[in-house]
Structure 1
């Protein structure tokens, strides 16, 4: 019953008119009045921001803020995988032979998430990592590895919550929400960076159209709450000590390392 009520409420409130209204407010001059209270409520670290809090014209501009140079240290070991975002590791595990991930007790189809069986085939038996970004986090997304961008496309139109309630009660939110998928071919393997939009304002704005990315280089940003998934090929990723459920990470932190020969 609880799950059904949750889904009905979200369906009723997450329509195009509601999303447009919230997006409009967040980009309005009036929203500027709420920036300081937002920063105080979510305990935003203003010392690491590139600009003074008074300089932001809208709540949206504050939410998508840049950080000072050097505020995040990227692990530049050639084989390491750097966290693409600030966030909380919600889950990690193995992609099944049926090309599914099991997160918070629910199954998600990698084929549905990536838009087809052919796209999912290469990640069968590999590793997945789910990182959730709350409203308190820095919301710009960076490349987890260095390599060539071999694919970038978007799927889905509407978005539902991707927090713990969303993962528990929602209907395949990771596979159905608006999402932007980027595949990066490193020297050893191919890594999928899946950027999943969240409730109401589901925008994923790609800021980097280069054909090659350096580890730690900015790639995109989210408008409000969101989630990132990393998908690795079988035998291509060895998790590090930081890879524990519900552990908070910062962009650039080493999640583990790549290993093995390049897979196609």
Structure 2
């Protein structure tokens, strides 16, 4: 009964207008006074931030902060695939005949996650990582490899929470929420960076101007409040690290695996 009630309450609160209201407040001057408390509550490493706390005009500006140069070293090994974000790994593993298996007890299909894109067939036996960003984390998203952006797609949807509760008890959250998908062509193939919106995330935004080509670790986009990135690689294009598992944390620039060359 309690679970059903929580699910119903989440359904009611997962309307876009709720996130818009939250986002409007976070972008207002009134939110500025909450920055120190927010930073303390979530134990954010404020010394890494590009600016001092008092220099941020709104809570949203602080949340989408850049970091001081050198705060996130990028793995420099040849053909390295790096984490695009600071995150906890919710799930990772091989894609089996178009299925992402057992993400908090639920299976997802590539077709639903990628909104029926014809590119889906290239990923049917690839590899995936689900990377959850909590409010504590740095919320800019970077390119996991050097390459060319070959396609982007915005998929409208809900804004259900993508935390432990949302992924476990809500139905197929990753494929029902709003998503921004970026396909990047690298020397060994292609990968997809799927940015998933969430409760109280007012938007997912690309950096401006969005470059046609990206270096490994270059800025790609950012979340306005916490969410999730699903990283997908094409069939046979990556040798993933075998020591990473669900529950581990990674930082942007950490090695996730090694990309193959064609």
Aligned-pair CA distance for 1:54: 0.6
| Residue 248 of structure 2 corresponds to residue 259 of structure 1 | no
| Residue 147 of structure 2 corresponds to residue 147 of structure 1 | yes
Change (3 A) 1:2 1:260: farther
Q: Distance in 1 between matches of 2:62 and 2:161?
A: 21
Q: Secondary structure at the match of 1:220?
A: strand
Q: Distance in 2 between matches of 1:242 and 1:198?
A: 29
Q: Distance in 1 between matches of 2:257 and 2:233?
A: 11
| Residue 213 of structure 2 corresponds to residue 212 of structure 1 | yes
Contact 2:92 2:130 in 1 (8 A): yes
Partner of 1:158: 158
| Residue 41 of structure 2 corresponds to residue 76 of structure 1 | no
- The unaligned stretches of length 5 or more in structure 2 are none
1:186-212 superposed Cα distances (whole Å, 9 cap, x missing partner) = 000111111111112241100152111
Contact 1:242 1:255 in 2 (8 A): no
Contact 1:99 1:120 in 2 (8 A): no
Aligned-pair CA distance for 1:159: 1.1
Contact 1:123 1:234 in 2 (8 A): yes
Partner of 1:109: 109
Q: Distance in 1 between matches of 2:201 and 2:135?
A: 12
Partner of 1:129: 129
Contact 1:158 1:202 in 2 (8 A): no
| Residue 179 of structure 2 corresponds to residue 176 of structure 1 | no
Aligned-pair CA distance for 1:242: 4.8
| TM-score of the pair, normalised by structure 1 | 0.94
1:228-261 superposed Cα distances (whole Å, 9 cap, x missing partner) = 0110122221122552211111110111111253
Q: Say which is worse superposed, 1-10 or 227-236, in terms of deviation.
A: 1-10
Partner of 1:192: 192
Contact 1:89 1:129 in 2 (8 A): yes
- The unaligned stretches of length 5 or more in structure 1 are none
Q: Distance in 2 between matches of 1:110 and 1:125?
A: 10
Q: Distance in 1 between matches of 2:184 and 2:154?
A: 15
Contact 1:100 1:107 in 2 (8 A): yes
Contact 1:126 1:234 in 2 (8 A): yes
| TM-score of the pair, normalised by structure 2 | 0.95
Q: Say which is worse superposed, 184-193 or 197-206, in terms of deviation.
A: 197-206
